[in-house]
Amino acid sequence: MGTARVKGEVLYSNPLAGPDDVADWVAEGPLKLAGGRGALQLSGFLDDEEFGDHAHWTFWCPVEFPDGVRISWEFLPLAEPGLAMVFFSASGHGGLDLFSPRLAPRTGHYPQYHSGDLDALHISYFRHKHAEERAFRTCNLRKSAGFELVAQAADPLPPAGDALDFYRMELVKDGPLVEFSINGLPVLAWTDPGGQVLGGGYFGFRQMAPLRAGYRNLVVARL
């Protein structure tokens, strides 16, 4: 893992082979870490039927990235139901650092992220939590604060029982442009029409319980 200053070079890489690889990451909410299949396995440790929306969590990479990056990782759903998403270009209101003590505490409860004191983009790319999501599967790109749905596209990922191997996710963030693909298949593209165009910031994973999923090979590189 490390940082590069030359355009085109890797800014950060992490094999995500197990919990030791994310010892410096920041967990918000009831996150459970495990290893297996050469990957980091993430799930929650609270019963969502008992704790509801407070059973979900967010897990931040501790490195702040510039704009103009390509972010890739591999994802494998292991046990459903649930939902997986990523946050990117995340920072506090007014240019505050994401981890500034001046921001409100965060515990994994979703409204703290989409309608609180954070600015971020987030893509939910595995929406298998609720029956209506499983019946018509989409990828949703939202801009926050404000929870604005700015783009939507079909989700090609299968249910966990049909997933044979890891899927390669790739996200491009370049000024107003956001592009997202899975295994090289273009899924979603959006250009911010103006106003507050988000720039650099932090990247993080999020899941809704009781999803259990594997992650590996996170790479962030300059375009």
Amino acid at 110: Y
The answer as to whether 151 is a domain residue is: yes
Domain hosting residue 67, numbered range: 10-98+112-209
Both tokens of 76, joined, read 């494998």
Q: Does residue 217 form part of some domain?
A: no
**Sign of the Cα pseudo-torsion (46, 48, 54, 56, in order):** positive
What's the CA gap between 223 and 155, in Å, rounded?
A: 25
Does residue 1 form part of some domain? no
Q: How high is the pLDDT of residue 2?
A: 40
The answer to whether residue 214 sits within a structural domain is no
Tell me if 72 is assigned to some domain. yes
Is 181 within the bounds of a domain? yes
Residue 164: what pLDDT? Answer: 93
Q: Along the 223 residues of the chain, how does pLDDT read in single tens digits?
A: 444 344 579 999 999 999 999 999 999 999 999 999 899 999 999 999 899 999 999 999 999 999 999 999 999 999 999 999 999 999 999 999 999 999 999 999 999 999 999 999 999 999 999 899 999 999 999 999 999 999 999 999 999 999 999 999 999 999 999 999 999 999 999 999 988 899 999 999 999 999 999 999 999 999 9
pLDDT at res. 55 = 95
Q: Which secondary-structure segment (H or E) carries 134? A: helix 131-135
How many other CB atoms sit within 10 Å of the CB of residue 182?
19
In a domain, 218, yes or no: no
Would you say residue 159 lies in a domain? Answer: yes
CATH of the domain at 202: 2.60.120.200
d(C-alpha 157, C-alpha 147), whole Å: 24
Q: Full-prediction pTM beyond 0.85?
A: yes
Question: Where is 121: in which H helix or E strand?
Answer: strand 118-128
DSSP states of 65-105: B-SSEEEEEEEEEEE-SEEEEEEEEEEEGGG--TT-TTSPP
Give every CB contact of residue 80 below 8 A, 6+ residues apart in sequence: 128, 159, 160, 211
Tally of structural domains, the chain: 1
Asked if 210 contacts 97 with a C-beta cutoff of 8 angstroms, the reply is no
Residue with tokens 């390509």: 70
